[in-house]
Structure 1
């Protein structure tokens, strides 16, 4: 259910912009179209954002925070060995309801956006580096040597990206498949 128009927040606009991005690509991030989706006037948009460029910047910042830093903080908040943290990372990465942001295809849409937009590309690169470094650190904490940590992190992260892409058009249990991949990457203790 949508919030009444008087209570729309910048987050509501950001979520609607991500839904537009996921459905129709970066050219769909337009104040008028998003206002129509939210059933409000375009003036409401300008209450929260200077212009569409500011919305796009806030979208990327929001995504970086919610889909990377918040997840890492959540995983780190749980005590336990690094193997359990890796399992928890898979759970939260595949179990989060992203429908408010356009569903599982939003990450692919951001990657596509980054192909054509320098700012999106820089943020995506930063996010990828942060995520891979974090997973690499978890494998290091498991006792793996640096080259294996890197390879395992890339395989696990690449698996997540690939499963997200496949699940857009096919029913795939991303959590189960990623858990199997993690099990294969983790040598018996």
Structure 2
């Protein structure tokens, strides 16, 4: 059996996200997650005060890892704004979400936000950050302010919808997003 000292809070957070993606917010329970991790429930309290503390840390972790870390990673590469947009699509569709529940993770957070104020506030902040970043990159590609906002909404909205379709095998998430991005970029250069 794993001991509390070998598990990190990130291990618990990843397991909690897996519980969220498979069973909804009601599945985020210390005992059930401890069973999944094959540790005692006491190990949970080594890292978290209680389940609400875990949930708050999950949301902060999600905002940091699924948004801020990706943006920092892309900004660290010296390439054009168009190439940054392509890198963003690759990052949004790579396997980094697998330990958290895969393609269903963001959708599960969206569902959680429908019924929880803290989750809703975090989701709104993340959505604003992501949309702003995409719009900024589109602005650097020569789009006007209104075109950048519309393009960001279209690309980000497509990501949200295509994740749900891809989870059911009904879309090629990366391929479809890249084709949409190329069409969007092509609309700017064909004028």
Shift of 1:143: 1.1
**Is the CA contact 2:162–2:171 (under 8 Å) kept in the aligned structure 1?**
yes
Moved over 4 A (4+): none
**SS of 2:61 mapped into structure 1:** helix
Normalised to the residue count of structure 1, the TM-score between the two structures is 0.96
Question: Residue 77 of structure 1 aligns with which residue?
Answer: 76
Shift of 1:130: 0.4
Shift of 1:79: 0.4
Whether 2:21 is the aligned partner of 1:22: answer yes
Question: Residue 180 of structure 1 aligns with which residue?
Answer: 179
Whole-angstrom CA distance in 2 between matches of 1:176 and 1:12: 31
Shift of 1:171: 4.8
Cα-to-partner distance string for 1:32-88 (whole Å, 9 max, x where unaligned): 110111111010000000000000000000000000000000110110110011011
User: Could you list the runs of 5+ residues in structure 2 that have no partner in the other structure?
Assistant: none
User: Could you list the runs of 5+ residues in structure 1 that have no partner in the other structure?
Assistant: none
RMSD over aligned Cα atoms: 1.3
Shift of 1:13: 0.4
**Is the CA contact 2:14–2:99 (under 8 Å) kept in the aligned structure 1?**
yes
Question: Residue 44 of structure 2 aligns with which residue?
Answer: 45
Whether 2:129 is the aligned partner of 1:130: answer yes
